[in-house]
Amino acid sequence: MSEKCIDKLAVIGAGNMGSGIAQKMASEGFDVTLVDLDDEKVQRGLEIIRTTLAEGVERKIFSSDEADAIQSRIHGTADWGDLADVDLVVEAVFEDLGVKRSVFERLEAVCRPDAILATNTSSFLVSDLGDTAKHPDRILGLHYFFHPAKNRLVEVVPGNKTSEQVTRAAWTLQERIGKTPIASADASGFVINRFFLPWLNEAVRLLEEDVADIPTIEWAAKKIFRVGMGPFELMNVTGMPIALHAATTLGDHFGPLYAPAAKLAGQVESGQSWELDGAADESKLQVVSDRMLGVVFHVAATLVDEHVGTIEDTDIGARVGLRWPKGPFEMINRLGTGAALELVKKITERWELEVPNLLADRAASGRPFRFELVRRSTRDGIATLKINRPDAMNALNEAVVEQLHEAFKAAAADDAVQAIVIAGAGKGFIAGADIRFFVRSIDAGDLDRIANFTADGHRLLHDLSHCDKPVVARLHGLALGGGLELALACDRIVATPNAVVAFPETGIGIYPALGGTQRTPRRIGAGLAKWLIYTGQTLPATQAHQIGLVDAVVPYERLDATIADMIATGFEETQRKETPAEWRPLEKLFADHPVESLRAGKVEIDDVKLAKMAKKVSFKAPVALRLAEKLIDAAGTTELAAGLKMELDHLSEIFSTEDAYEGLSSLGRRRPEFKGR
């Protein structure tokens, strides 16, 4: 099975999970067959989707036409013969091993021999299903999280006989449908439920042992983990029987620590929800904190010790799937590895367990955990450097720039590497620099830190642009600000149709300072560069290709093959593309008029569309606009190196302005009010 072949999808089981998975696939443009035992169940699943889409329309997530289009791509049926030509099918029936095995038996009978068969199980091993199959190499786990149309996390779980090709193809599909995949070994609970269920269970134990009551545990858990719902409310919402079943399975595999508390089983038997009302006893914060953190730290470190998952995927899963602001290992770092070890020792002593080597060794070193934010993989002589901050849209910060530079230099020096590709994990390329870093630095009065970070970025981009080996930017999703600037330093930019590029900086009080004011005009001319930078206009990949900002736009399934073909063919020096006729009026407008005239509305413009475009300039920061104009104009009269130095020279000036702080600190909360100072 090649990645190129996955086009037709199917889901077995039209319940809440199955219908949600089908909806997500259809929302990303795929035709999906939704199968259940009879038409009544199928229609119920379609109605669930219809209701969810209607809620999305009401919340303005979709338009009515978009919702109708999504629904039209889902074909509900009770005829398993309709699965004869699907490329990948996800089983999402209830958690009964016998039932799931019978589903896979039927799938093997009706699906093509090369179709990928995936299970959404959360309770069983993938190998429990694969071992009884005729073609276990094509079976793997795709564990989606509720609600699968909204929650971006999916665990990709190969069984003991799953082929690497199948795993790679399934992973690629998850990125195509906007999911954030993490890798898990085929172990009970996989990565996330392995520590999340003990988190729920420990809350019940605290209640069972009269350590604290429900209101206190809820309050403490929300405060400690910075979450919107505590464990008892979560169980009320998601269903206590599910928690009981999952904890029972974990207990069977891993022992008493994981086994369900007696009070959880009793509550399920009663059929009653947990009673949440009451005042919290704040004096119990420490004891609740110690127990709940201790359990999470122990289990998270243990699963990494056992190679079930990595520290990075564990934390990404917690942030994306559970919506915790920080994952277990970030929390360990915040508390301190030594203090975290002491909490874990209390847990291991109580349950007669071993302290995880990972945590013991790290505490002994006195150092925090270091997260791998850039992952390198090499295939057929092409090294792909993937920025792995999907829940932050791969935003650049000091650690990312440092690690990307290290990985790039290693790949450039590796004789086995013929070319280098820069990519982003998840549904985006790079959504610019991490704005919080800028705000924190300004708050601390440390503009030197911003200058050093930007200078480091310039050194990275210099090496990208001067590498002897071909360097390609692989754009999928957002490429904003620093992300677009990084791409422009590469030899080629190849994008999918859903890629979007923009320079939003002047709308947040600053200017593009990683080469945006220099490489952009050299590539597309000063007029269009000014338009992009002055207005912050978002540009779909197809339009970016028209004006020469992007070199090729291809469907996601052909992205890697196209890049490989480009590399094999070889690159000629990039020549500036002649501006298409339909873009020339816009180019002329911004090339001919000073930015202050555009901002003040002093330019007479007859064309309505052009007038609207020029109007956008009035909402941007005046100082940032003036500096951007100065820098772009300089690009036409100076060498690139001198222009890049000018960008750095004006950093202190721009980040010292009130407008910069106003724009950066207001992002995502309100429209900034710029004062021109």
d(C-alpha 42, C-alpha 78), whole Å: 7
Using CA atoms, how far apart are residues 196 and 176, in angstroms rounded to an integer? 27
Active-site position among 155, 485, 557, 647 = 485
Give the strand pairing for 180-183 and 153-158.
parallel
In one-letter notation, the amino acid at residue 517 is T
What SS3 state is found at 94? coil
Instruction: Write the DSSP string, 136-204.
Output: GGGEEEEEE-SSTTT--EEEEEE-TT--HHHHHHHHHHHHHTT-EEEE--S-TTTTHHHHHHHHHHHHH
Q: What is the rounded CA–CA span in Å between residue 651 and residue 536?
A: 19
User: Percent helix, strand, coil in the chain (nearest 5)?
Assistant: 55, 10, 35
Cβ 300 vs Cβ 317: under 8 Å: no
Give the count of alpha carbons within 13 A of 523, CB side only: 26
Annotated catalytic residue within 505, 557, 587, 629: 505
- The 8-class DSSP code of residue 620 comes to S
Strands 153-158 and 139-144: antiparallel
Separation of alpha carbons 70 and 471, rounded Å: 37
Strand, helix or coil for residue 8: coil
Beta strands 9-12 and 88-91, pairing class: parallel
Query: Is 148:21 a contact under the CB 8 Å cutoff?
Result: yes
Residue among 397, 350, 353, 357 nearest 373 (CA): 397
Q: From CA 250, how far away is CA 261, in angstroms rounded?
A: 12
Q: What is the DSSP string of 289-321?
A: HHHHHHHHHHHHHHHHHTTSS-HHHHHHHHHHH
Whole-angstrom distance, CA of residue 420 vs CA of residue 467? 9
Residue with tokens 């003036």: 626
CA dist 545 to 214, 501, 550, Å?
57, 11, 5
- Alpha carbon distance 177, 546 (integer Å): 26
Q: Based on the residue annotation, tell me whether 485 is a catalytic residue of this protein.
A: yes
Six token digits for residue 553: 């736009």
Neighbour-count burial of 237, counting CB atoms closer than 10 A to its CB (0-12 exposed, 13-18 middle, 19+ buried) = exposed
Distance, in Å, from the CA atom of 180 to the CA atom of 509, rounded to the nearest integer, reads: 31
Residues 6+ apart with CB under 8 A from 489: 461, 462, 464, 465, 471, 515, 519
55 in active site: no
User: What's the first-to-final CA gap in the chain, in angstroms?
Assistant: 59
CA distance 528 to 577: 12
- Cα–Cα distance for residue pair 261/408, rounded to 1 Å: 50
What residues are annotated to the active site? 485, 505
